[in-house]
Amino acid sequence: MRRVPIGLLWVMLIVLVSAGGCAAVKPWEREYLADKIMQFDPDTLRAEWHLHVQDVLEGDRGGFNGSGGGCGCR
Amino acid sequence: MNRTARVRVAGCIALLAGVCGAVEAVEPPQDETLVGYNLYSGGGLTVQGPALIVKKELLNRMSVTAGARVDLVSSASVDVVTQASPYKERRTEYNLGGTVLYDEVLTGVDYIQSRESDYTSDTVSVRMTHDLFDRNTTVNLHVSHSWDKVGKNNDPSFGWKDFNRTIYAGGLTQSLTQRWLVQVNYEATADSGFINNPYRSVYTIGGGTAPEHYPDARTGQAWVLRTGYGFAPDSTDELSPGQRSSIQFDYRYYQDTFDIQSHAARVLFQHYVGTNWLFGTSYRYHRQSAASFYGDRLPATQLYKARDKELSQYSDHWIGASLQYKPIGFTWAGLSNFYVELSYDFLMYDYDNFTDPRTGELYSLRAHVLHTSLGFNY
């Protein structure tokens, strides 16, 4: 299996970080983003169980630790 | 679950500590209880048991979370029936965590303890989450360390070997539009100590067996891209829940010092049916190369040896569906926001260079994964 250039992955990350300052979704425009269907792994127990099974069956791991995307409506 | 897999699972508990924080933005959790039941069945292995999470908010900016899970294991997997005897095992896991919200930064600390007859694990993790740019950007950092001990049943002379794992992870989630989210994550993992399986042997060229022997250190890196887009069939901006749908896409690239590389991609579609039902369906593809010292048969003189099928070359598919029922407005005995969820996944693993010693043919595995849970606020 051919290795992915690590530099390319970091460039993708930097581009996304830079994009952060450009987006302008206002708090009152976040109703759709606050919906459960827009969250990554909204069901904690199910997400844990699926990662658990993947850890058992597969030799790789990690990477699904992100946060955010919630309603921001506190 | 074979023995190496159990080692890996216990060692990866630190990763789950990160998942516990994955669903929250910079908000302390609400008072919530989740009760679940898990089942895995396939390849001669059955794992099942309950899981519980209780979250309690304190003083409007702090929260505590406690959880427990029991895995009841009954194993007659290909490794077990060809190299040992079928066994039953019980793993118990407890976790306790707390978060504090201060100046738009949510800081959390978690402790997880796992115990089984030949493996113990204690994990401490710290995570921080911060919203930026009018809450359009969320930055997440996560560090954890596990102190594990590996034993060997029915062999007191083996003693307890140390195994340690440290995880450094960071992620960024960005709202691109009112309906489009993107997330990137990076995670580095460093393992040291007794990594290999104390039970398994490898088959040597020319006949015979030899104990597995892994390097005593391993580092891995994972890059993840996730994106989600929401839409309504009539393409209007009306936010009627019965019309909302979303599609999510995940991709992960992984590589480590065992020379394993992998690609994993998943697509998930969710759709509300009426206002109370949420239907989801997903597909995941995963392909992994073999560790440099893996072999179906190996020279007896080779220093590092492995015949763990999880370190072989293979590809797999997950096909899943879920259904959630959440009766809007229903309350009972002071409890609210009830929901019930059921999910099922069918797994297909096909190995390229791992043969079944019983048949001499390449091994493949078919499995069923079930999860059901009940959640409510109190």
pLDDT at residue A15 above 90?
A: no
SS percent in chain B: helix, strand, coil, step 5? 10, 65, 30
| Residue B77 maps to a domain | no
pLDDT of A74 reads 28
Query: Structurally, how many domains does chain B consist of?
Result: 1
| Residue A67 maps to a domain | no
Q: Which residues of A touch B223 (CB under 8 A)?
A: 4, 9, 63
Query: For residue B359, what is the domain's CATH number?
Result: 2.40.128
Q: Which two tokens stand for residue B67?
A: 């959880």
Select from B142, B185, B244 the residue whose CB has the most chain A CBs within 10 Å, as the one to mutate to test that interface: B185
> What integer is the mean pLDDT of B77-101?
85
| Residue A27 maps to a domain | yes
**Taking Cα atoms as reference points, which of B319, B315, B314, B321 lies closest to residue B284?**
B319
Instruction: Output the DSSP codes for B276-290.
Output: TEEEEEEEEEEEEPP
* Alpha carbon distance A2, B19 (integer Å): 29
**Low-confidence winner among B14-18, B214-218, B278-282 (lowest mean pLDDT):** B14-18
Question: Domain range holding B198?
Answer: 3-27+119-377
pLDDT of B239 reads 56
Could you tell me the pTM of the whole model? 0.86
Amino acid letter at B202?
A: V
* Alpha carbon distance B10, B115 (integer Å): 9
Which A residues 8-67 touch B at CB under 8 Å? 9, 12-13, 16-17, 19-21, 23-27, 29-33, 35-53, 55-67
Amino acid letter at B218?
A: R
* Alpha carbon distance A55, B37 (integer Å): 18
| Residue B21 maps to a domain | yes
User: Nearest by CB to B373, which of A26, A45, A65?
Assistant: A45
Query: Structurally, how many domains does chain A consist of?
Result: 1
Going by pLDDT thresholds of 50, 70 and 90, the confidence category of residue A68 is: very low
- Contact of B181 with chain A, judged by CB distance below 8 Å, is answered with yes
As for the ipTM of the complex, it is 0.88
- Contact of B247 with chain A, judged by CB distance below 8 Å, is answered with no
Average pLDDT, chain B: 87
* Alpha carbon distance B57, B137 (integer Å): 24
| Residue B335 maps to a domain | yes
| Residue A28 maps to a domain | yes
Cβ-in-10-Å burial (0-12, 13-18, 19+) of B88 comes to exposed
Residues across chain B: 378
Question: Domain range holding A19?
Answer: 6-57
| Residue B42 maps to a domain | no
pLDDT in tens, B300-349: 899 999 999 999 999 999 999 999 999 888 888 888 889 999 999 999 99
User: Which value, in Å, is the radius of gyration of the alpha carbons in chain B?
Assistant: 22
| Residue A23 maps to a domain | yes
Which residue has tokens 């792994």?
A: A41
| Residue B205 maps to a domain | yes
pLDDT in tens, B257-284: 999 999 999 999 999 988 899 999 999 9
pLDDT in tens, B162-213: 999 999 999 999 988 888 999 999 999 999 999 988 888 899 998 889 999 9
